[in-house]
């Protein structure tokens, strides 16, 4: 049996849009402040995985930068 601390938490498909929206807001705040790069990169990678990663194998993340994070936010906000 896997200990609770190592249990993988799954999201239901109907929960993912809300999680993405929350992560976008978090990334936006971190990008405005630009003082917690490690937290911003974790948020960026999580968003990337939820939005673009295919099942199977490890995702290949684009390199993080504040500019890349801002571009990610801008693209998300342009969607209808």
- What confidence score (pLDDT) does residue 44 get? 95
| 64-79 residue pLDDT tens | 999 999 998 998 888 7
Q: What is the pLDDT of residues 19-69, one digit of tens each?
A: 999 999 999 999 999 999 999 999 999 999 888 766 667 778 889 999 999
Q: List pLDDT tens digits, range 5-17.
A: 666 778 888 999 9
Q: What is the 3-state secondary structure (H, E, C) of the chain?
A: CCCHHHCCCCCCHHHHHHHHHHHHHHHHHHHHHCCCHHHHHHHHHHHHHHHHCCCCCCCCCCCCCHHHHHHHHHHHHHCC
> Rounded distance, CA 80 to CA 40, Å?
25
How many residues does the structure list for the chain? 80
- Does pTM top 0.75 for this prediction? yes
Predicted local confidence at residue 67, as pLDDT: 96
């Amino acid at each position: 049996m896997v200990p609770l601390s190592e249990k993988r938490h799954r999201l239901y498909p109907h929960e993912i849009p809300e999680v993405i929206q929350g992560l976008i807001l978090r990334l936006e705040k971190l990008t405005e402040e630009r003082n917690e790069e490690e937290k911003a990169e974790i948020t960026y990678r999580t968003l990337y995985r939820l939005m673009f990663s295919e099942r199977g194998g490890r995702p290949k993340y684009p390199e993080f930068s504040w500019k890349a994070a801002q571009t990610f936010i801008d693209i998300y906000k342009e969607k209808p």
